[in-house]
Amino acid sequence: MTSEKKTVAVLYGGRSTEYEISLLTAYSVINAMDLEKYRVLPVYIQQDGRWIAGSEIKKKLEYKDQLLLKEDQTLETNAEHWLAPSASAAAINKRPDVVFPLLHGPNGEDGTVQGLFELLNIAYVGSGVSGSSVGMDKVLMKDVFSAHGIQGPKYLSVPRFDWESDAPSVILEVKNSIGYPCFVKPANCGSSVGISQCLSETDLSAAVEEAFRFDTKVIIEEKIDGREVEIGVIGNHSLSVSVPGEIKTGEADFYDYQSKYQEGKSTLIIPADLPGKVRAELEDVAKRAFVALNLSGLARVDVFIREGDHRVILNEVNTMPGFTQFSMFPLLWQHTGISYRDLIEKLIDLGIEKFREKQKIHYRIDE
């Protein structure tokens, strides 16, 4: 390579219901990056799962659709297959220094893409395979939290097989162990896709069917009444936490897809106005959740501050949180004193740092 410039491959799109969000994120991140400092290689994953690796982005993008690469826009980068485990030595030389997977949801945030980069032995931003996959599955994630004594809502896992073979038993169990109102969600999703609130048993079957459109496993949770607060964590070993932010959803019953992405449907209050004791508990829960899930790089930890006792009840951890310039995670860091551009650079450095540590592992016993 001719200069000290680092090559960063940015991955976006993907076979996920959050495809559109990923494109917005990529547009925002690429345009914030210092192109004097980084060579940015776009890798577009079409909705059908096909990958198109483009050539270096040399100037700011003017509009988002420039990211929708066509076959004829690929240069030698694609032909050389640096993305394949069977890459030739020449292609391996063309591999980027680090990959930034700007993918949300299944096939991106869930350890699958991370597994590919482990196999290719390329550095990447964010959590590894186990943290990403457990963090994506709301049931496994909550099992880990409960094993670590971190408080969350009561929950019940419902595999499709159980529902189809004996729905009345599931309905009875919800009544006995969860109660109403409750939340019904696909176990592996995001952006509130497939999530419903059930006020009574009458709503349950339709809510479960809706959630099964998006996954083969559903989670049913007790409803927590309280404030919704989110906090950012970055680091590999020594962790930093951001200021907390609160979400106010206005007229919506909960923080649904529209409230998340439609202008004016919800308000972010940063920093959240929390008593010192609650904030300290939140920071502690956020760091413990990060460690419990074996995460690295970044995460946004989402909690409820329960009405009545003001305890921090953990909802979920997102290993690749919304990352446009106007998303909660970057805004939290901006209020903490780290700009969007600096945050991107910090995450790239953390990805490379983690990769270097892993290179010390021996894969032969006789070395």
Ligand X SMILES: Nc1ncnc2c1ncn2[C@@H]1O[C@H](COP(=O)(O)OP(=O)(O)O)[C@@H](O)[C@H]1O
Residues that bind ligand X (CB under 6 A): 153, 183, 185, 189-192, 195, 221-224, 228, 254-255, 302, 315-316
Closest distance of CB 204 from ligand X, Å: 15
Closest distance of CB 27 from ligand X, Å: 22
Strand ranges inside the chain, DSSP E: 6-13, 38-45, 51-53, 98-101, 123-124, 155-159, 182-186, 196-198, 217-222, 226-235, 240-241, 245-248, 267-269, 297-306, 312-318
Q: Is 241 exposed, middle or buried (0-12, 13-18, 19+ CB in 10 A)?
A: buried
Closest distance of CB 301 from ligand X, Å: 11
Cβ-based neighbour number of residue 168 at 10 Å = 7
Taking the least distance from each CB to ligand X, the nearer of 317 and 338 is: 317
Closest distance of CB 258 from ligand X, Å: 12
* Count of H-run helices and E-run strands, the chain: 12, 15
Residue nearest to ligand X (CB): 255
Taking the least distance from each CB to ligand X, the nearer of 221 and 345 is: 221
Encoded tokens for 363: 């894969």
Side chain identity at 74, as an amino acid letter?
Answer: T
On whether the CB atoms of residues 31 and 60 are closer than 8 A, the answer is yes
Q: What are phi and psi of 284, to 5 degrees?
A: -65, -45
Taking the least distance from each CB to ligand X, the nearer of 73 and 192 is: 192
How far apart CA 127 and CA 304 sit, in angstroms, is 24
Taking the least distance from each CB to ligand X, the nearer of 80 and 302 is: 302
Taking the least distance from each CB to ligand X, the nearer of 90 and 206 is: 206
Closest distance of CB 140 from ligand X, Å: 14
Closest distance of CB 105 from ligand X, Å: 9
How far apart CA 126 and CA 136 sit, in angstroms, is 13
Taking the least distance from each CB to ligand X, the nearer of 304 and 333 is: 304
Q: Closest Cα to residue 7, out of 29, 32, 37, 27? A: 37
> What contacts 340, CB < 8 A, 6 or more positions away?
32, 325, 330, 333, 334
How far apart CA 266 and CA 193 sit, in angstroms, is 17
Closest distance of CB 71 from ligand X, Å: 33
Phi-psi region of 45 (alpha: psi -120 to 50; beta: other; left: phi over 0): beta
Cβ-based neighbour number of residue 258 at 10 Å = 12
Encoded tokens for 147: 């094993």
Taking the least distance from each CB to ligand X, the nearer of 38 and 214 is: 214
Taking the least distance from each CB to ligand X, the nearer of 254 and 261 is: 254
Closest distance of CB 223 from ligand X, Å: 4
Closest distance of CB 18 from ligand X, Å: 9
Taking the least distance from each CB to ligand X, the nearer of 258 and 339 is: 258
